[in-house]
Amino acid sequence: MERMIELVALLNRYNQEYYEEDNPSVSDAEYDALYDELLALEKQYFVLPDSPTRRVGGRTQKGFATVTHRERLYSLDKSKTKEGIVEWMDKVMAESGRFVPLTLEYKYDGLTLNLTYEKGHFVRAVTRGDGTTGEDVTAQAMTIRDIPRTIPFGGSVDIQGECIMRLSALKAYNETAAVPLKNARNAAAGGIRNTDVEEAAKRHLSFMAYNVGHVEGATFATQSEMHRFLQQNGFCRDQYFRLVQNGDDWKRWLDEVETIDRPKLDYLIDGMVFKVDDLALREELGVTAKFPKWAIAYKFHAEEVTSRVLDVVWQVSRTGKLNPLAVLDPVDIGGVSVSRATLSNISEIKRKDIRIGSDVFVRRSGDVIPEILGIARHNADSVEVEAPAVCPACGAPTVQKGVFVYCTNPEHCAPRVVAAIEHFASKDAMDIDGLSVKTIEQMYNDLGLRRADELYDLTKERLLTLDGFKDKKASNLLASIEKSKTTTLSRFITALAIPNVGKRTAEQMADAFGSIEGIEGATRLELMSLDDFGQVMADSVVDYFASADNRDFVASLLRKGVRIEQDTHPVEGVFANEVVVLTGALSRYKRSEAAALIKERGGKVADSVSAKVTLVVAGADAGSKLAKAEKLQIKVIDEAEFVRMLGID
């Protein structure tokens, strides 16, 4: 569990560097190795609420105006095998009760853009951002020649697609560039997210449209109709688009694209995308926190090369666990320089017989994830990897528990302390703006900061002793710290970093118990009665508050002026105390809109029918959820009754 918490914190930091600061400290390969490790752990255990696997992208970048998307933009679930695609297809068919046509398209490797047209004129381009808000990059997008300035359609429409840099354009750019661009994907993203519009123009970027988002003045029943609409308006005229009917032709198509078409393309693709063609069925299938259930990406097979292990370094996590990382002789795989690969634990290192100085097979799964498959050969100077006897960060002795190695001084080991304070100050927790990892490290080293509650003891005089701090910066940080003193119960619980507890579970506890005292005194059985709470989560909460040190930390925060306000949730309304499931197609509202209306009126919305559900809203062609509701004798209403309850004319 500690590894999952550590991966979430690390990946969220890398996301900030990549999406928000345009200054990644690790390669795509290293990031995706950690991401895949987290996905594997989540399949085995559960998904933490603040996991990056729930997020679509990153926050918006400072320097660009932010724009709220009219419809949320989602990322895609993925499968590396045809068997995984078959499993997804089976779920879709089971939900619909029949075989439904699917569409098949290229998965472009670039930067997602959302283009807005009003009355036939191009007015705005926005990055995907976090899926809800993105960056206004209209000026940069205006340099892309294949984005039409006008289109025949006279209504209001959002066109979604991928900004890419063609390989021929990348080659031409690098022939004269003082600093060559490393790969086409990063070149496209860097060009669009560069405030220098001239730089975007120099890269001769392209745009591949694949979806119609918000639209007024037209309706579509299928994605095939959307595709024809895009073609009629000057987009995707020669792009790959196939309809998958009953049968296994799609398997052959995947192989043909990967082995024959892909090497000939003048741009990067890293897979293929399957989508349900029927838009009404998409509404029925719904979405998760990050992925639509009606689409999936097939990731192409990994490339495989050999490299030499130069070293194995051990990184200290927030919980004191030491995680091994292989340092490789840099090798180019698919246009990306791979120099590091994650190693699970000392047992895995021994099992694969990985040694420093040996040559190993390295694979980037799905074109991005570095993985050591095994040994190619040992060399004369190869040496076995041993677990460190002392912590590389603080020098304290280590202890091995099972397959993992831990620092015996986690409460005072610098990386652990810095990570804990970083989490405390994060946006979903106490939301202290301006408290970067670098600043926390300065406070640790120069001010002796050891616990997050000590942030509330800081003064301007002390901050001004730190390198880089002037009067304004110190004042702004102190103002942000002071502002954080007024918070909600769910944010306060999130900030405590209770193992296995994140934003969503903190909100559930806040709703159920109403106060920090109520949560402190909650029993395991009371906690396990909450939705999505199992014994592991309940034990984590009970064990956290059983610790005298943790109780002292909470009390210290309250003594220093932290004020906990009630989370604001509607408690009155026509759907108060109702747990509602939406099924079938509604003619008046999209499912997301209907869900929002229910929540605004005091109700909760569930994805599946269970004994806890009190009401089912059944639209047209309702399927298995309606049948289950009837079997459980749950109240069912149609769309007309639903609209009447909303009280909207």
* 206-265 residue pLDDT tens: 999 999 999 999 999 999 999 999 999 999 777 899 999 888 899 999 999 988 888 888
**Alpha helices in 277-355, H assignment, sequence order:** 279-285, 346-352
Better-predicted residue by pLDDT, 418 or 649: 418
Q: Which residues lie below 8 Å from residue 612, measured CB to CB, with a gap of 6+?
A: 531, 579, 606
CATH architecture for residues 2-54: Orthogonal Bundle (1.10)
Question: What's the mean pLDDT when you consider all of the chain?
Answer: 86
Tell me the pLDDT band of 462, cut-offs 50, 70 and 90. Answer: very high
CB-CB contact of 333 with 438 (8 Å): no
Q: Beta partners for 390?
A: 397
- For residue 149, the tally of other CB atoms under 10 A from its CB is 10
Better-predicted residue by pLDDT, 530 or 242: 242
User: Letter for the amino acid at 547?
Assistant: S
**Worst-scoring range by mean pLDDT, 262-271, 395-404, 537-546, 571-580?**
571-580
CATH 3.40.50.10190 domain residues, the chain: 579-646
Query: Does residue 569 carry a pLDDT above 70?
Result: no
* Residue-wise burial string across 25-64, b where 16 or more C-beta atoms lie within 10 A, e elsewhere: ebbbbbbbbbbbbbbebbeeebbbbbbbbbbbbbbbbeeb
What is the maximum alpha-carbon separation in the chain?
81
What's the distance, Cα to Cα, between the start and end of the chain in Å?
50
Tell me the pLDDT band of 59, cut-offs 50, 70 and 90. Answer: very low
Instruction: Supply the CATH classification number for the domain 414-565.
Output: 1.10.150.20
Is 43 catalytic? The answer is no
Backbone angles phi, psi at 365, to 5 degrees: -65, 130
Give which of 307, 326, 327 is closest to 375, Cα–Cα. Answer: 307
Q: Which residues lie below 8 Å from residue 256, measured CB to CB, with a gap of 6+?
A: none
Give which of 82, 32, 76 is closest to 56, Cα–Cα. Answer: 76
CATH 3.30.470.30 domain residues, the chain: 66-266
CB-CB contact of 494 with 521 (8 Å): no
pLDDT tens digit sequence for 19-50 = 554 445 454 555 666 777 877 777 777 677 66
Domain 579-646 top-level CATH class: alpha beta
DSSP tally for the chain: helices H, then strands E = 24, 26
Tell me the pLDDT band of 619, cut-offs 50, 70 and 90. Answer: confident
Query: Does residue 459 carry a pLDDT above 90?
Result: yes
Better-predicted residue by pLDDT, 135 or 585: 135
Query: Does residue 60 carry a pLDDT above 50?
Result: no
Give which of 573, 592, 641, 582 is closest to 613, Cα–Cα. Answer: 582
How far is the C-alpha of 267 from the C-alpha of 437, rounded, in Å?
37
CATH 1.10.287.610 domain residues, the chain: 2-54
How far is the C-alpha of 115 from the C-alpha of 123, rounded, in Å?
8
Q: Which pLDDT score, from 0 to 100, does residue 122 have?
A: 95
Q: Which residues lie below 8 Å from residue 553, measured CB to CB, with a gap of 6+?
A: 451, 452, 453, 496
Q: Which pLDDT score, from 0 to 100, does residue 28 have?
A: 53
Instruction: Supply the CATH classification number for the domain 66-266.
Output: 3.30.470.30
**Alpha helices in 364-431, H assignment, sequence order:** 414-424
Average pLDDT on 345-365 reads 86
CB-CB contact of 215 with 157 (8 Å): yes
CB-CB contact of 192 with 151 (8 Å): no
CA-CA-CA-CA dihedral for 515, 517, 519, 524, to nearest 10: -150
Q: Beta partners for 313?
A: 325
pLDDT tens digit sequence for 277-295 = 999 999 999 988 778 999 9
Q: How far is CA 636 from CA 98, 625, 649, in A?
A: 24, 11, 22
Q: Beta partners for 121?
A: 118, 150
459: tokens are 């003064």
**Alpha helices in 152-195, H assignment, sequence order:** 167-176, 184-192
Active-site residue, from 107, 290, 503, 625: 107
Pairing assessment for the beta strands 404-407 and 398-401 based on DSSP bridges? antiparallel
Q: In the chain, what percentage of residues exceed pLDDT 70?
A: 91
Give which of 94, 90, 98, 138 is closest to 118, Cα–Cα. Answer: 138
pLDDT tens digit sequence for 105-118 = 999 989 999 999 99
Q: In the chain, what percentage of residues exceed pLDDT 90?
A: 46
Q: Which pLDDT score, from 0 to 100, does residue 385 have?
A: 95
CATH 1.10.150.20 domain residues, the chain: 414-565
Backbone angles phi, psi at 304, to 5 degrees: -135, 130
Q: Beta partners for 311?
A: 327
CA-CA-CA-CA dihedral for 455, 459, 461, 464, to nearest 10: 40
